[in-house]
């Protein structure tokens, strides 16, 4: 018995010694990062918690607010799970106004009523674009509609008219990752432009086609052919609700990609346009061009009341949406969820009200609200400022929730750890969890702002490797 007690004591001493050595090694690695030339003018923050107790194992600059990039999505997802519930689903309704005559003429309009679903028509789920269009066509036929004396209207009112958060930069807006929200989102609010480089840097880049065809957008091609190996340095400048896109930058010779993805300027219009085009090819014609409730309001047109609902598309549940939100870092999902959170709490469906709701929610759980300077849902804004301590403590708290397994599963794997990455101009960050070979569990948040040069992530991983 005495021997067992001594053995137990020795094991405890060894464990404490190992833990102490690990902390010392982390501190040494972190100081090496601070002294690296790339971090000379940077601000670096690290917070490591014991995932079982929440105890801080090592932290440095953890109370300084930093631009988060996409690590902010860990907070947005956790807030959405908490407020909306893991089984939450959006519903999009196809309806008509007016009446249908005995000979199949709709004396009114078809209306697609959006609920803010960012997955509608996405290729990632069962409800793909063609699947939904077929469902709507079938419903229209069942309703006996053979001709439309009116228009097809995209109803995007639920999220208002401001699609992009304040603080997003001009270079991002217009590209697929800068696609804003819409009350009636469609195909993740993007379309593709296929490009072909010239045979020399003196040649122009050719626009091959848009996918799908988007004739209502005029594309002004200012792209230059880049030297072989320079790759994709192209940007689309296409403001929300505009019909003119400028392509600027370069497209390198020998590039393997077919082209770029660009933000839809008006997703609700494109959704209505696609349905109208599909019906036209089937011989069901509308007298008036496709439109949206926003455009009708601008033209002082009365938006008619719905007479009959004929089809409903239900989105994947929040767990499925979050899987792709975190795994592929889809900015659109974060912004849509933030507005949906605001609606759920009885507030106006704006980015600012969603952010306010998110901050207050975590403040109610003991997180200092001044450590959460949040202005969007995705982290694309360089104006977001969150401390690594606040983010780490939120990650610690959510482990006890019944939805945590879905949340954890959605986190990507980098460097052998379940951590969300974040990258914007001169910002790199990681946030998530790690279990070492001995079974010890950690919450990890590391963030560097204003670093110099490229390829900083390997140096951040050298710090995190001390937890392995």
- What is the predicted pLDDT for the residue at 14? 46
Parent domain of 226: 194-256
Residue 15 pLDDT more than 60?
no
pLDDT tens across 410-455, in order? 999 999 999 999 999 999 999 999 999 999 999 999 999 999 999 9
Q: Token pair of 342, please?
A: 């605001």
**Distance (Å) of CA 345 to CA 81, 84, 341, 360:** 14, 9, 6, 11
Same structural domain for residues 217 and 353?
no
Same structural domain for residues 152 and 289?
yes
Provide the 8-state DSSP code for 305.
P
CA atoms of 326 and 333, how far apart (whole Å)? 9
Same structural domain for residues 144 and 63?
no
- 3 state SS of 152: strand
> Does 168 reside within a domain?
no
> Does 173 reside within a domain?
no
pLDDT tens across 304-360, in order? 999 999 999 999 999 999 999 999 999 999 999 999 999 999 999 999 999 999 999
CA atoms of 302 and 68, how far apart (whole Å)? 43
Same structural domain for residues 295 and 340?
no
DSSP assignments along 429-456, one per residue: EEEEEEE-TT--EEEEEEEEES--SS--
> Does 394 reside within a domain?
yes
pLDDT tens across 31-66, in order? 999 999 999 999 999 999 999 999 999 999 999 999
Residue 85 pLDDT more than 80?
yes
| Whether the Cβ atoms of residue 234 and residue 248 lie closer than 8 Å to each other | yes
> Does 439 reside within a domain?
yes
Which residue carries 């401390």 as its tokens? 387
pLDDT tens across 261-301, in order? 999 999 999 999 999 999 999 999 999 999 999 999 999 99
**Distance (Å) of CA 390 to CA 231, 327, 352, 372, 402:** 38, 22, 20, 7, 21
| Partners of 235 in the β-ladder | 248
pLDDT band at 10 (very low <50, low <70, confident <90, very high): very low
Question: Within 10 Å of residue 35's Cβ, how many Cβ atoms?
Answer: 9
**What are the CB-based long-range contacts (under 8 Å, 24+) for 409-413?**
409/323, 410/77, 410/319, 410/322, 410/323, 410/324, 410/325, 410/326, 410/327, 411/74, 411/326, 411/327, 412/326, 412/327
- 3 state SS of 51: coil
In percent, the amount of the chain with pLDDT more than 90 equals: 94
Same structural domain for residues 302 and 326?
no
> Does 79 reside within a domain?
yes
Same structural domain for residues 302 and 251?
no
Instruction: Summarize the confidence of residues 235-250 as an average pLDDT.
Output: 97
Closest alpha carbon to 433 in 341, 355, 326 = 326
Same structural domain for residues 420 and 334?
yes
Is the Cα torsion angle 212, 256, 321, 241 positive or negative in sign? Answer: negative
Same structural domain for residues 202 and 246?
yes
pLDDT band at 22 (very low <50, low <70, confident <90, very high): confident
> Does 26 reside within a domain?
no
> With b meaning 16 or more CB within 10 Å and e meaning fewer, what string describes 344-372?
beeeebbbbbbbbbbbebbeeeebeeebb
Same structural domain for residues 103 and 235?
no
**Containing H/E element for 20?**
helix 2-34
Same structural domain for residues 434 and 338?
yes
Q: Token pair of 1, please?
A: 């018995």
Residue 19 pLDDT more than 70?
no
Instruction: Summarize the confidence of residues 151-157 as an average pLDDT.
Output: 98
Q: Token pair of 367, please?
A: 């997180």
**Containing H/E element for 311?**
strand 308-314
pTM, two decimals, is: 0.94
Of the CA atoms within 13 Å of residue 45, those in its CB half-sphere come to: 26
Same structural domain for residues 342 and 224?
no
> Does 172 reside within a domain?
no
> Does 340 reside within a domain?
yes
- What is the predicted pLDDT for the residue at 21? 84
Average pLDDT, the chain: 95
CA atoms of 401 and 379, how far apart (whole Å)? 24
More confident residue, 143 or 21: 143
In the chain, % helix, strand, coil (3-state, to 5) comes to 35, 25, 40
Closest alpha carbon to 175 in 157, 159, 188 = 188
Say which CATH number the domain at 295 has: 3.50.80.20
In sequence order, the 6+-apart residues with CB closer than 8 A to the CB of 180 are 163, 164, 165, 173, 189, 240, 263, 332, 335
Closest alpha carbon to 102 in 150, 149, 148, 145 = 145
In sequence order, the 6+-apart residues with CB closer than 8 A to the CB of 161 are 294
Q: Token pair of 270, please?
A: 């494109």
> What total number of domains does the chain contain?
3
Provide the 8-state DSSP code for 205.
P
């Amino acid at each position: 018995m005495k021997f067992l007690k001594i053995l137990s004591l020795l094991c405890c001493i060894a464990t404490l010694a190992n833990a102490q050595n690990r902390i010392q090694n982390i501190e040494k690695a972190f100081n090496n990062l601070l002294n690296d030339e790339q971090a000379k003018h940077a601000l670096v923050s690290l917070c490591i918690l014991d995932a079982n107790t929440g105890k801080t194992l090592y932290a440095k600059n953890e109370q300084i607010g930093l631009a988060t990039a996409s690590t902010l999505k860990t907070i947005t997802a956790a807030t959405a799970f908490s407020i909306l519930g893991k089984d939450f689903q959006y519903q999009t309704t196809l309806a008509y106004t007016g009446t249908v005559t005995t000979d199949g003429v709709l004396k009114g309009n078809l209306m697609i009523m959006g609920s803010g679903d960012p997955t509608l028509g996405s290729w990632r789920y069962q409800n793909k674009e063609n699947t939904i269009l077929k469902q709507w066509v079938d419903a229209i036929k069942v309703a006996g509609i053979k001709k439309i004396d009116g228009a097809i209207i995209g109803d995007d009112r639920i999220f208002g008219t401001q699609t992009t958060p304040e603080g997003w930069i001009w270079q991002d807006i217009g590209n697929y990752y800068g696609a804003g929200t819409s009350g009636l989102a469609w195909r993740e609010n993007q379309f593709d432009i296929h490009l072909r480089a010239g045979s020399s840097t003196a040649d122009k880049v050719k626009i091959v086609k848009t996918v799908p065809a988007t004739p209502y957008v005029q594309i002004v091609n200012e792209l230059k052919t880049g030297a072989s190996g320079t790759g994709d340095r192209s940007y689309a400048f296409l403001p929300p609700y505009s019909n003119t896109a400028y392509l600027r930058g370069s497209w390198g010779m020998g590039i393997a990609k077919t082209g770029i993805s660009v933000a839809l300027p008006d997703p609700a219009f494109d959704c209505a346009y696609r349905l109208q085009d599909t019906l036209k090819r089937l011989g069901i014609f509308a007298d008036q061009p496709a439109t949206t409730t926003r455009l009708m309001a601008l033209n002082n047109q009365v938006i008619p009341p719905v007479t009959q609902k004929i089809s409903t598309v239900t989105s994947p549940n929040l767990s499925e949406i979050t899987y792709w939100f975190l795994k592929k870092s889809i900015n659109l999902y974060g912004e849509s969820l933030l507005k949906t959170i605001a609606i759920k709490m009885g507030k106006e469906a704006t980015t600012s009200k969603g952010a306010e709701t998110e901050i207050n929610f975590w403040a109610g759980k003991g997180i200092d609200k001044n450590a959460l300077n949040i202005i969007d849902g995705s982290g694309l804004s360089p104006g977001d400022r969150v401390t690594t301590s606040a983010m780490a403590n939120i990650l610690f708290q959510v482990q006890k929730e019944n939805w945590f397994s879905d949340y954890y599963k959605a986190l990507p794997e980098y460097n052998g750890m379940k951590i969300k990455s974040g990258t914007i101009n001169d910002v790199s960050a990681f946030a998530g969890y790690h279990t070492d070979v001995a079974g010890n569990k950690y919450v990890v948040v590391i963030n560097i702002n204003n670093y110099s040069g490229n390829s900083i992530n390997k140096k951040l991983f050298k710090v995190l490797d001390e937890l392995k």
